[in-house]
Structure 1
């Protein structure tokens, strides 16, 4: 449920799937799934030091993440999709590792996720009155597998239509994806500041 909403990360993974293929999109998605698993672990085990760090550094984490998102969006906008497709054939596993790491850090830079997991776990009473280590571990593994299944499904669906795109269409998809990601990153940047955050939520 946490992975499905198509925010900037979803748009970015769709763009990578279109440009580089299903495997690249799936590997990128797993970066988001691993980051979600990390936050689910913090929420499930109540890791005090990590949670305290996230709460105190929330502003800076969101700020860095939003600025990097704007940078990624602008980079996609100004990238030639034809060169990117050709480059994808050469980069192979090294390029996919870079995609995995970048998506992981982009997802991890949104500390709101840990509070979402806390709310979901509490609201569904999934642990019951006497949580055990086994239940918590199964839940964390479920977050990883659930996220992975979603990103595999999305990248597979996008890949089916990918073969029907022509170069001109790929050019405009690149431009639109870049603009959407940059705008969402800019809105996330504005939302870091309390007066603007209050205005956006009003």
Structure 2
């Protein structure tokens, strides 16, 4: 049994999660406002969506993957709506006393669900995983099933590890941030999320 696929999946998952995107911005912002648990839970929502798409690609569920890719426009529209809503909500959030909040567990299901939906509405992720599986020489055979399980599991663990580190580091800095700085962070975060939304809107219009 070749357990190297678990390691490869870990590196892949960590690398995919690390670049700054709307999920990363949300993770940081929610950690500052609601605590470590909220930021980590937000990240795990995205990691779960990646796990699902990885399973679809890894186990040859071509009917499902073809359907999702074929309906990508509708998924992108849903994702666009979520991004605009989240960006506006971030811009208009009341930051008063936010950094002293102790309600870490408040709304964790909502935190998890929103990032899960933001990630799952990007079915092109399947194409990424299909390319990875093909590049590693994994075909839809029984011998490759165990390797596929290890790779997909590694992706989830690697992604979760990144969100664990990001949330933990942000939480450590939380007490050093004043309300005025937090307000600026909210402004920047909201504008950045809206920027990602406009990029998606541009792709929809020109695509």
Q: TM-score normalised to the size of structure 1?
A: 0.87
Secondary structure in 2 matching 1:62: helix
How far residue 133 of structure 1 moved from its aligned partner, in angstroms, is 2.2
CA RMSD after TM alignment = 1.9
Structure 1 residues 162, 79: closer, same or farther in 2, change over 3 A? same
Aligned equivalent of 1:107: 119
Structure 2: gaps (5+ residues)? 1-14
Unaligned 5+ residue runs, structure 1? 198-202
Whole-angstrom distance in 2 between the partners of 1:138 and 1:30: 18
Q: 2:174 aligns with which of 162, 169, 183?
A: 162
Residue 63 (structure 1) aligns with: 77
Cα distance in structure 2, aligned partners of 1:33 and 1:9: 10
Alignment of 1:35-184 (within 5 A): 35-82=49-96, 89-90=102-103, 92-125=104-137, 127=138, 131-184=143-196
> Would you say the 8 A contact 1:27–1:99 is kept in 2?
yes
Match of 1:192 in 2: 204
Task: Please list every run of at least 4 consecutive aligned residues from structure 1 whose deviation after the TM superposition is greater than 6 angstroms.
Answer: none
Mapped to 1, the partners of 2:98 and 2:177 lie a distance apart of 15
Q: 1:118 to 1:106 in 2, by over 3 A?
A: same
Report the Cα distance in structure 2 between the residues aligned to 1:83 and 1:119, rounded to whole angstroms: 46
For residues 21-72 of structure 1, the C-alpha deviation after alignment (integer angstroms, 9 at most, x for no partner) is: 2221111100000000001001101212211211221011011101210110
Shift of 1:84: 5.2
Does residue 1:17 correspond to 2:31, yes or no? yes
State how many pairs are aligned.
192
Q: Give yes or no for contact 1:26–1:152 (8 Å, CA) kept in 2.
A: yes
State the distance in 2 between where 1:39 and 1:171 align.
36
C-alpha contact 1:67 1:189 (8 A) present in aligned 2:
no
C-alpha separation between the residues in 2 aligned to 1:83 and 1:101?
Answer: 25
Distance between the aligned counterparts of 1:89 and 1:156, measured in 2? 15
Task: Tell me the secondary structure at the aligned position of residue 81 of structure 1.
Answer: coil
For residues 170 and 93 of structure 1, what CA distance do their matches in structure 2 show? 20
In the other structure, the counterpart of 1:200 is none
Deviations 1:105-146 (A, max 9, x none): 111011121111111222233x37964322221112111111
